[in-house]
Structure 1
């Protein structure tokens, strides 16, 4: 069976930067399963996997526009420490869920200077070229519930 829209595809992957350093990878023996064609992984990777069979190895380079997008300076801003009520210690690298004009987003603290906190709303991989090596571990038809919900269900899925 081939990876195509409405199929559940399970992949083992290694993601490297342009220097060959591993950025992320699937856990040993635990492939990532996703519903193909439903925007559950970055578009460039999904396009590269499209049409490949179980057992295939796919190597692809995904440019920022087909990955996590370009780095956008306008998503970096300074906010008052008061925006982090209930948090005693603030440090660079900490991430928080924030509300924006465009809806909820994750922001990462870049710098803390007194009562001024610089946050970055870009995805940590925004602006980066992504180099994937993927092994397709399995392809199956999605269930009606998975298609209705737009994502894979397993024994740990709980919508209750």
Structure 2
């Protein structure tokens, strides 16, 4: 069975930057699970996985437009310090999580005041060309419920 629309795909990944430095990996943890063809995965990663089979291991280098997007220079915002999640004391350069209307979002602290903080809303990896090592561990047909909900259920996927 190969990866195509309405298949639930599980995979391991190792993410490296332009210099080959490892940034993240889920190898040794639970695999990522997603419903293929439903915009649940970065566009470039989903395109790279299309047509692959269980056991396939490969690398793909993707431009920012296919992953976390280009950096937007007008994306700084001032928010109350109390809205930042992840630490008690904040310093420029630290990563924080804020709650938005679209869910949680990772931001970078730019400037800290007594009550307000300036954050950069760009994803920390925006604007970077990234290398993904992908290992396909499982492919199965999605259940009718998963297709209706538009996402995978179970380990590595969504839990209701």
Band the TM-score falls in, shorter-chain normalisation: 0.7 to 0.9
Aligned to 2:81: 84
- Provide the C-alpha distance between the structure 1 equivalents of 2:42 and 2:143, rounded to a whole number of angstroms: 22
Alignment of 1:2-13 (within 5 A): 2-13=2-13
Give the secondary structure class of the aligned counterpart of 1:138: strand
Deviation at residue 26 of structure 1 after TM alignment: 1.2
Q: Distance in 2 between matches of 1:104 and 1:154?
A: 21
Match of 2:148 in 1: 148
* In 2, Cα distance between equivalents of 1:116 and 1:25: 34
For 1:42 and 1:35, how far apart are their aligned partners in 2? Answer: 12
Which runs of no fewer than 5 residues in structure 1 stay unpaired? none
The Cα shift of 1:65 comes to 0.5
SS at match of 2:45: helix
* TM-score, normalising length: structure 2: 0.83
CA deviation vs aligned residue, 1:3-51 (integer Å, no higher than 9, x gap): 1111011111111001111111114152111111112221011101101
> Mean Cα displacement is larger for which, 141-150 or 86-95?
86-95
Q: TM-score normalized by structure 1?
A: 0.83
Q: Which is worse superposed, 86-95 or 149-158?
A: 86-95
Alignment RMSD (CA, Å): 2.5
Match of 2:97 in 1: 96
The structural deviation recorded for 1:64 is 0.3
**Compared CA separation, residues 124 and 86, structure 1 to 2 (3 A):** closer
Name the larger-Rg structure: 1
Distance 1:94 1:123, change over 3 A: closer
Aligned residues: 154
Tell me the equivalent position of 2:21. 21
Equivalent-residue separation in structure 2 for 1:64 and 1:71 (angstroms): 9
> Contact 2:3–2:36 at 8 Å: present in 1 too?
yes
User: Bigger shift: 123-132 or 83-92?
Assistant: 83-92
Contact 2:109-2:120 at 8 Å conserved across structures: yes
